[in-house]
Structure 1
Amino acid sequence: MFFNNLLTSSLLLAATASALPAEVERRATNQYLTNSHTAITELQTFYNSPRPGFWSAGWWNTANCLTLLADLRAKDSSSFLTSITDGPNGVFKHTLNSQNKDSTGALAWDDFFDDQLWWVVALVKTYDVTKDSSFLKTANDSFNAITLNDKPSNNPCGGLANAYPSEKYLVKSSTIATVLYVEAAALLATRYPAQKTYFINQAKTQWSWITQNILIDGIMQGDALTGNPPSCGNNHAFLTYIEGVALQALVALYHATNDASYLTTADTLATKLLSGKYGMMDNNKIALEFCDNDLSCNPDTAQFKGIMMRGLRTLRDAKPSAAGGQIKSFLTKNADSIWANSRQSGTNLLGQKWAGPFALGSSQALQLSSHSSATMALVEAALANM
């Protein structure tokens, strides 16, 4: 099978290819990059033929695996990584070519808007690396489909829903769908100059809803609004991935508008986040999801923490002094803890509890989510040290 050949060749190259001198020097001075390569080798053992998620049964989880590879590939042109990602048989092109699309060219594997938006972000980042316009076109077509099909009348409390009204697990006024939409619109604004004003206006409209309802006391609170005006309720939940996407959205808005106030808002959010007062890290400043301690995370929630790390690193790239300059040390401390305390001996499989001890759910989907989330943390630490 093509998939097995791709997997076998990728792993073989990772294990046996002779590194170029520049690669040897870079990896010798950045242990986080070396560890990322090791974790990605393990990640590729999940890469198989079932569609739609080549690394997982979860479609949005696969989008995040694609994003972590694109993030690293943007700065890492090693033979190890390019043997996995690049070319007509690499995971970038193969993953896109194997997706279902509707008649407009939009991705259409399920009816969740937030899932589609994870893919929009992943495809934009993959386009940035490959310069292959098919990635950007699919991202744009998918964004337009969401804009067309998410009806404000279906969300009495504002924002975006996470899915079509007929979806069993519909969440109206979904925070994650709305903030992902802001990020996606802002990213597209800088890649479609002729439509820049349109995309910026789309982003600003939804960011205004976020600031009025979810960005409370400088940090994101609540995963949705429920009820009807004027009694729209907020559960004030703190979820690591919502904070991470908000940071990415703010940085994308800054790049699209050149308005530094978005970075100021992101700086405040990151400072609050890293204070440790909101339950998203332990007393030693190791990232923690609400479901980690009792290992009750499902394949969705087990993915969350790595997305927070991506948001923090994205902010640091744009503003190194953000959060008092402590983002890099936070990223590296978490990467160190994962490698020392949450890694399975012999397989290099990474666990759910980053502070340790190593622990992992029994299902393949949960193992993939936990491992890929931790791999994101390693990648973000490597990027922060480049």
Structure 2
Amino acid sequence: MCATTYRERADAGMATLQTFYNPATGLWKTTGWWNAANVLETTIDYCTFTDSLTYRTNIFNTFEKNKRNRFLNEFYDDQGWWALTWIKAFDLTGEVRYLEAARVIFTDMTKGWDNTCGGGIWWNKEHKYKNAISNELFLSIAARLFLRTRDQRYLDWAQRTWTWFSKTGMINARHLINDGLNAQCQNNGQPTWTYNQGVILGGLIDLYQCTNNRALLKTAEAIADAAIQNLAPNGVLKEPCEPNCGLDGPQFKGIFIRNLSDLYRTIHKLTYRDFILRNADSIWAEARNPRNQFGLCWAQKFDQADAARQSAAMDALNASIVASRTPIVLQAETATLHDLVLEAVYAGYEAGGYVAGWNRDGQWVDFNFTLPSAGRFDLIFRYAAAAGNAARFIFVNGRAIVNTQLFPGTGDWAVWSTVTLPNVALQTGNNTVSLIFNQSKGSRNWLNLDQLIIL
């Protein structure tokens, strides 16, 4: 296939991934149980980034074919993968049963926590190993459930897990995460698998979104930078087990890229964008066969095909869809203001001024723009909120998106920050994003608005 854009490459890779799907079982041929959760998450990400309906039936079918045991087994990490996947299924479809499935899984995972090594959950229900991946998953699930339910118990678990994890020594002196703890509750020195560097990024981003503690993002950045420096010869990820990674290892690199993409979309560090595109390009140029199947080693010739290899590579191609977009930057002075004014008093704004004097009903901002094609995009708002946390009602193309979008306080009017609203469906042609002060929706406090960036 002559695919010239990152979207076209992802389309081709996704079509090949679907050839492994077995509708009778709701699983993917050639892979195991935990892999299947990741393959479905990859599929959901593709549907989210492209707004495609083509593969969404996989979500319903996989759930129906496998719900009998509530996605529970003897391994807490296996369960964790399914919980994350069902949360994403809920985000995409709005179907509450997927969120409830994740809650059931998480409740079962809490039974794995005890005071051995000071806390943390076990890898399995025989209590034989406390490792990184199970606890990273536990952290991320807890934080994501809090963000969707506002049940304080989930936030308590997330904070408790990170407090414990950060003190275990599993994060080594190079800012890389080893596999787990030994019998003496010390870092066991086992390989720094790429997925252990990835899942923690997602967990820290999720916890940051719960708490607005930017130190968590700094920790995530340090881990991501260390992984790129130490686990990617010539800028392309390489798993420690390559070229012989069994059934599990081929999945790992995709999980890292998937979570690195989330970090890029949160802090917009161009190093991460370039790394994502470098890996996507290498997969397409070096590790692909004529059938658009992808191999294990992303900088080497294709070896063999299976759903784990294919979905891991697809994680990179999915990430490249967003990373390759040219941001649309809309300055405040181009917006339509309703009972508001532009101001240019405090330093740090990007162009001709910012929206100011904004703290009562009847005031709102409309950003109007056009897109060549529909899809899901991140909306990134650049703002200052010196008076403390502010909130606004967000309306897109005639429908409410967020009733109470938080803009954490910045401490000074000359200190600017960003808030990202991810995966918002936008349409071909004309679009309007409105930020509205509506006290009945929870809007509060003063807010200066500098830019809207569509990515």
Q: Same fold (TM over 0.5)?
A: yes
Contact 1:118–1:180 (8 Å) recurs in 2: yes
Q: Deviations over 1:358-377 (max 9, x none)?
A: 1127xxxxx22111111111
Aligned to 1:336: 281
**Following TM superposition, by how much is the alpha carbon of 1:129 offset from its aligned partner in structure 2, in angstroms?**
0.6
* Higher helix residue share: 1
Choose from 217, 232, 248 the match for 1:300: 248
Specify which structure has the bigger relative contact order, considering alpha-carbon pairs within 8 angstroms and separated by 6 or more residues. Answer: 1
Contact 1:183–1:252 (8 Å) recurs in 2: yes
Contact 1:221–1:236 (8 Å) recurs in 2: no
Query: Secondary structure at the residue paired with 1:267?
Result: helix
Question: Counterpart of 2:71 in structure 1: which amino acid?
Answer: L
How do residues 68-107 of structure 1 correspond to structure 2 at under 5 angstroms? 68-77=42-51, 81-85=52-56, 90-102=57-69, 106-107=70-71
Shift of the 296–138 alpha-carbon distance from structure 1 to 2, 3 Å rule, reads same
Does 1:327 pair with 2:290? no
How do residues 92-171 of structure 1 correspond to structure 2 at under 5 angstroms? 92-102=59-69, 106-108=70-72, 110-147=73-110, 149-152=111-114, 155-156=116-117, 158-165=119-126, 171=128
Aligned to 2:260: 312
Shift of the 312–171 alpha-carbon distance from structure 1 to 2, 3 Å rule, reads farther
**Following TM superposition, by how much is the alpha carbon of 1:233 offset from its aligned partner in structure 2, in angstroms?**
4.5
Contact 1:222–1:235 (8 Å) recurs in 2: yes
Shift of the 151–327 alpha-carbon distance from structure 1 to 2, 3 Å rule, reads closer
Query: Secondary structure at the residue paired with 1:84?
Result: coil
**Following TM superposition, by how much is the alpha carbon of 1:55 offset from its aligned partner in structure 2, in angstroms?**
4.8
Aligned to 1:10: none
Distance 1:236 1:299 in 2: 18
Contact 2:47–2:55 (8 Å) recurs in 1: no
Q: Deviations over 1:270-308 (max 9, x none)?
A: 222222xx3x211x111000121xx21111111000111
Shift of the 55–209 alpha-carbon distance from structure 1 to 2, 3 Å rule, reads farther
Q: Deviations over 1:163-196 (max 9, x none)?
A: 111xxxx641111000110001010010012x1x
Distance 1:57 1:74 in 2: 23
Q: How many residues align?
A: 324
Contact 1:218–1:265 (8 Å) recurs in 2: no
Contact 1:157–1:225 (8 Å) recurs in 2: no
Q: Deviations over 1:190-223 (max 9, x none)?
A: 0012x1x211110111112221122233623211
Question: Counterpart of 1:159 in structure 2: which amino acid?
Answer: G
Query: Secondary structure at the residue paired with 1:219?
Result: coil
Aligned to 2:238: 288
Shift >6 Å, 4+ stretches: none
**Following TM superposition, by how much is the alpha carbon of 1:146 offset from its aligned partner in structure 2, in angstroms?**
1.3
- Greater CA drift, 237-246 or 260-269: 260-269
Distance 1:171 1:384 in 2: 40
In structure 2, the gaps of 5 or more residues are 326-455
Query: Secondary structure at the residue paired with 1:307?
Result: helix
Distance 1:302 1:101 in 2: 28
Choose from 296, 312, 332 the match for 1:373: 312
Contact 1:51–1:57 (8 Å) recurs in 2: no
Aligned to 2:134: 177
Identity across the alignment (%): 28
Contact 1:157–1:227 (8 Å) recurs in 2: no
Shift of the 132–70 alpha-carbon distance from structure 1 to 2, 3 Å rule, reads same
Contact 1:219–1:269 (8 Å) recurs in 2: yes
Distance 1:198 1:161 in 2: 20
Distance 1:354 1:281 in 2: 10
Alpha-carbon RMSD: 2.1
Question: Counterpart of 2:147 in structure 1: which amino acid?
Answer: T
Does 1:224 pair with 2:168? no
Question: Counterpart of 2:268 in structure 1: which amino acid?
Answer: P
Query: Secondary structure at the residue paired with 2:27?
Result: coil
Aligned to 1:270: 224
**Following TM superposition, by how much is the alpha carbon of 1:156 offset from its aligned partner in structure 2, in angstroms?**
4.1
Question: Counterpart of 1:332 in structure 2: which amino acid?
Answer: L
Distance 1:319 1:42 in 2: 32
Distance 1:351 1:216 in 2: 30
Contact 1:56–1:62 (8 Å) recurs in 2: no
Q: Deviations over 1:288-332 (max 9, x none)?
A: 00121xx211111110001110111000111103xxx20011110
Q: Deviations over 1:122-151 (max 9, x none)?
A: 11011101001111010111111111x314
Query: Secondary structure at the residue paired with 1:172?
Result: coil
Shift of the 190–55 alpha-carbon distance from structure 1 to 2, 3 Å rule, reads farther
In structure 1, the gaps of 5 or more residues are 1-14, 16-26, 362-366
Structure 1 length-normalised TM: 0.79
* Higher strand residue share: 2
- Greater CA drift, 115-124 or 352-361: 352-361
Distance 1:69 1:383 in 2: 15
Contact 2:31–2:308 (8 Å) recurs in 1: no
Choose from 38, 55, 60 the match for 2:34: 60
Contact 1:309–1:380 (8 Å) recurs in 2: yes
Distance 1:359 1:261 in 2: 41
Contact 1:173–1:224 (8 Å) recurs in 2: yes
Aligned to 2:301: 357
Does 1:261 pair with 2:215? yes
Does 1:33 pair with 2:4? no
Distance 2:89 2:67 in 1: 18
Distance 1:183 1:306 in 2: 17
